[in-house]
Structure 1
Amino acid sequence: MERRQFLQNGTLAGISALALGGLTNAAQAATGHHPQAAAGKTFNMNYAPHDGMFKNSAKSDDFLDQIKFMYDQGFRAIEDNGMLGRPAAEQAKIGDLLAKLGMQMGVFVVDTGNNWKTSLTTGKQEFKDAFIKTCKDSVETAKRCNAKWATVVPGYFERNLPMGIQTAHVVDALRAGAEIFEPHGLVMVLEPLSDNADLFLRTAEQTFEICKAVKSPSCKILYDLYHMQRNTGNLIPVMDMCWDEIAYIQIGDNPGRKEPGTGEVNYKNIFKHLHQKGYKGVLGMEHGMAGKSTDGESALIKAYRDADNFL
């Protein structure tokens, strides 16, 4: 398996001919191009909106219509946390459309139903079994929508156990998951979070240690800049220290978890740093928006244009 190729150096297949313009006539006929949308050039970095983010501008609640609008605005990736819960036929339709447009599928969540409770840290077989089953289901979902990354949240601390024992239990479960993902080139990206103090994964450094212990190209870090700003700050130095294990990045300004420019994080500088490092992976737009309706959606696009203007 080519370890780094599908983590950080993979390029977007099939978009080179489309990068400087709108859809070709053939692609317009195939995908239902939005003629009312102002054409937008591709961004320097590969930002990925999610379902509902542009439903007003796309004039549709249908995710497929929203994806077409995203393409017209210059986005070349999406992410969808809830993809695993969509019907198989819908997953396939999304994958087919992304392939036609030359767009990339970002993360979906490996949702066992235990992500937000005390689970893998306990070492109990029932939680490990649920995780393994969901990993197998995730492989099938990834095939349908052409995904390469899936978010994993190990759950909460088991505060009756020493930290080392909890960590060993999590590593054991993740190794089992990695064995499922590896043959398919699918990567579980572990996400340290800031939502509450009960979550086991809190920092990139801790997650780096776990990835080194699992020792698999299918177990890497999801570096969510919003959560890392809340938990530790020092965003660029920590990112650089953990770089070998980072496979996916998400965005959200702080405070507020809205688009770049609404908080304290210097996203233009971060995007420039990532560009200079040669990062060509997805940057998931894992946040809300400061405005509402079409005006808010237009402001969100402008915020990304401004932050992306670093060359």
Structure 2
Amino acid sequence: MQSWKNYIKEYKNYLRLERGLSENTIQNYIFDVEKLMGFLSEKGIAVTPVQISEEIVQQFVYSISGVVNARSQSRILSGLKSFFNYLIFEGYRNTTPLELIEVPKTGRKLPDTLSVEEIDLLIAAVDLSKDEGERNRAMLETLYSCGLRVSELVGLKISDLFFEDGFVKITGKGNKQRFVPIGESTKKYITMYKDLVRSHQNVQRGHEDTLFLNRRGRQLTRAMVFTIIKDLALKIGLNKAISPHTFRHSFATHLLENGADLRSIQMMLGHESITTTEVYMHLDRKFLSEVLSSYHPRK
């Protein structure tokens, strides 16, 4: 398996330097290749990434089909395709062993969303008598107002706030940066937290520019944001499995329902491809009928 490790090492460098992907994303790509390596080791098949045939990969696909669901199969195959396409790109292979292997049909999973009323109830449930209340309210407002990923929220810097221009600078996947507009009310809540609570904290070295801090003066973890949101959902008796990403889904859905175009939403969410944004097109037929009757010239 040493030859696999050598190719994987080069592949990681390619993903990091040429593609500019984050370490989390790179690890997911490598995990897919390691799945295949594990199968080869288990079956005692001694073959290099350059030699492996379509038949062997097909055996691997059969082996995982009864263990993981269609969505996970599809993701693993996508990761393997990327690896073998890299080998072709570098001249190690002429063809990919996945060329004729079909990806399982998964359908698109529609993201859970919250109504505006549910978001209002969650934010209203924040206990403002505690210092972290101001922070939590500002965080939820920012998640929903700007459609951020949780990693983008906890990584937000004070120097990223361009309130005079009405924007915040967001560092997303692969360290790609984008500017996202921010509303007046969200600016107000962030400023209140920053001036009334954060300014009195003992900020730890290295976190002087971090916007949202925990009680120890350090950057919040993603897990802590999940916990805050789940506790609020329990508090108001919300019978939905929600997470920070639910606010991002709701941001996109509400914009779309109110007439925003997909391209604008794509830019604000930081999606590289418009097809990723299209998952938010889960509007009911009644709304689509209203759009047709309002905007089509032959209504």
Normalising TM by the smaller chain, what interval? under 0.3
Flag the structure with higher strand content: 1
Flag the structure with higher helix content: 2
Mark the structure with the bigger radius of gyration. Answer: 2
With structure 1 as the length reference, what TM-score do the two structures score? Answer: 0.22
With structure 2 as the length reference, what TM-score do the two structures score? Answer: 0.22
